[in-house]
């Protein structure tokens, strides 16, 4: 495979990002690459000042181009931006993130060196408030999101998927762009097709992207429930090609429900004696889980401040239970038209 040609197209779907968009765009425009570059913002129907900020940024720098994404869906916006792009390398960027200095140059060098079709790095979650910092630390901890390399780091090498991704446009054209019927987990599915076509997906721990997670508990729960629902849909479609770690949160939900049922039966005297003692085994994994969360909340991983540590067990349990519940629904009935409403305002009508 020849090395990528000169020129990079950064693509970014955007919806209700007035607090983060400017920093995200500035981090892209500060990237140094050989050859020309462009940043294409696929603007969803935002209800805040996002569009005004985007127009101002586009007016200030000719590299910034705006296209409309009325459907608001991330894969639709990505595909619109990729089709509108003009360069042979595509760099996906999240409007809720910021590329570290040197990200693009390092990624392009890795892409050429290991002859990969897609390269990704580490999501370095950060927070501005005690709650958001607690969520960020959960993202960065193996206990929070299951120890995936792009969350907690690891050794460079072939990967199942890539966070965001620096991709060869020619390979995207060959395997097809993002599947617009998948609203969450679309990157995993695209990388599955890339690997099935015989190309390499690569993890480079030297690549880092700052990411700001949700700022409210309700938004976090909605996000993780939606993400879990779509992972359940992906399990329906692709079965055991999904990693075993995705099955831990739904197992936790099932055990918690069983514990509640057995507890109710024990309290009402429906079961007792030896049967009650045997049934109490269901409490052991929950007890172990609570001990694990308590140990995490009391460790330095949870943060130096007492507010972050107070939020830590709430954040971890909310992430796991919301994701697990969504997974069970998605696996049982499919994702259907489920969407992530965590970035929509309460008075915003759903698309």
Any residues with CB less than 8 A from the CB of 69 and at least 6 apart, and which?
13, 14, 42, 43, 44, 76, 77, 80
Cα distance between residue 222 and residue 283, in whole Å: 27
Beta-bridge mates of residue 97: 211
pLDDT of residue 2: 35
- 117: buried, middle or exposed (CB in 10 Å: 19+, 13-18, 0-12)? buried
- How many residues does this entry show for the chain? 351
pLDDT of residue 303: 84
User: Does 234 score more than 80 pLDDT?
Assistant: yes
**Residue pointed to by tokens 């990528």:** 4
- 263: buried, middle or exposed (CB in 10 Å: 19+, 13-18, 0-12)? middle
pLDDT tens digits, 58-104: 999 999 999 999 998 999 999 999 999 999 999 999 998 999 999 99
Task: Give the angle 154-160-162 at the CA atoms, nearest 5°.
Answer: 70
Instruction: Take residue 139 and report the two structure tokens written for it.
Output: 């993202």
DSSP at 349: P
Q: For strands 64-68 and 118-125, give the pairing.
A: unpaired
Give the domains, in start order, of the chain with CATH numbers: 8-213 (3.90.550.10), 235-333 (no CATH)
**From the CB of residue 19, how many other CB atoms can be counted at a distance below 10 Å?**
15
Cα distance between residue 122 and residue 208, in whole Å: 5
Question: By the 8 A CB rule, do 85 and 9 touch?
Answer: yes
**Residue pointed to by tokens 């009391």:** 298
pLDDT of residue 3: 45
Percentages helix, strand, coil for the chain (3-state, rounded to 5) are 50, 15, 35
Question: By the 8 A CB rule, do 328 and 249 touch?
Answer: no
Instruction: Take residue 63 and report the two structure tokens written for it.
Output: 């590299």
* DSSP character string of 124-164: EE--SSHHHHHHHHHHHSHHHHTT-HHHH----EE-S--SS
User: Does 340 score more than 90 pLDDT?
Assistant: no
Average pLDDT on 138-143 reads 87
Beta-bridge mates of residue 229: none
DSSP three-state, residue 37: strand
Beta-bridge mates of residue 203: 120, 157
pLDDT of residue 151: 58
User: Does 341 score more than 50 pLDDT?
Assistant: yes
Chain-centroid distance of CA 350 in Å reads: 21
User: Does 350 score more than 50 pLDDT?
Assistant: no
Beta-bridge mates of residue 336: none
Chain-centroid distance of CA 20 in Å reads: 16
Q: For strands 201-211 and 8-14, give the pairing.
A: unpaired
- 145: buried, middle or exposed (CB in 10 Å: 19+, 13-18, 0-12)? buried
Average pLDDT on 188-193 reads 93
pLDDT of residue 140: 86
**From the CB of residue 132, how many other CB atoms can be counted at a distance below 10 Å?**
21
């Amino acid at each position: 495979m020849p090395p990528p040609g000169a020129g990079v197209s950064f693509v970014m779907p955007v919806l209700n990002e007035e607090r983060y968009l400017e920093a995200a765009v500035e981090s892209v425009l500060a990237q140094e690459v050989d050859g020309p570059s462009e940043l294409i913002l696929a603007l969803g129907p935002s209800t805040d000042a996002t569009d005004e900020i985007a127009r101002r940024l586009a007016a200030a720098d000719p590299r910034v181009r705006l296209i409309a994404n009325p459907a608001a869906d991330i894969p639709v916006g990505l595909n619109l931006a990729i089709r509108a792009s003009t360069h042979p390398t595509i760099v996906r960027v999240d409007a809720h993130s910021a590329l570290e200095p040197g990200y693009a140059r390092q990624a392009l060098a890795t892409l050429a060196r290991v002859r990969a079709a897609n390269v990704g790095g580490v999501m370095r979650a950060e927070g501005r408030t005690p709650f958001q910092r607690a969520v960020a630390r959960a993202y960065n901890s193996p206990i929070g999101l299951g120890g995936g390399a792009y969350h907690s780091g690891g050794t460079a090498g072939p990967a199942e998927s890539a966070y965001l991704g620096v991709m060869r446009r020619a390979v995207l054209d060959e395997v097809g762009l993002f599947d617009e019927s998948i609203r969450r987990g679309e990157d995993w599915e695209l990388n599955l097709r890339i690997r099935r076509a015989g190309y390499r997906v690569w993890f480079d721990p030297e690549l880092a992207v700052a990411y700001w997670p949700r700022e409210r508990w309700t938004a976090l729960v909605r996000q993780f429930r939606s993400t879990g629902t779509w992972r359940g849909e992906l399990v329906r479609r692709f079965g055991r090609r999904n990693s075993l770690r995705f099955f831990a949160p739904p197992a936790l939900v099932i055990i918690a429900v069983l514990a509640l049922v057995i507890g109710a039966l024990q309290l009402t005297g429906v079961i007792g004696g030896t049967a009650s003692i045997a049934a109490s085994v269901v409490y052991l994994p929950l007890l172990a889980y609570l001990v694990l969360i308590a140990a995490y909340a009391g460790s330095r991983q949870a943060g130096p401040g007492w507010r972050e540590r107070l939020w830590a067990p709430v954040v971890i349990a909310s992430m796991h239970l919301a994701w697990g519940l969504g997974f069970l629904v998605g696996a049982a009935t499919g994702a259907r038209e489920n969407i992530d409403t965590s970035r929509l305002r309460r008075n915003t009508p759903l698309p």
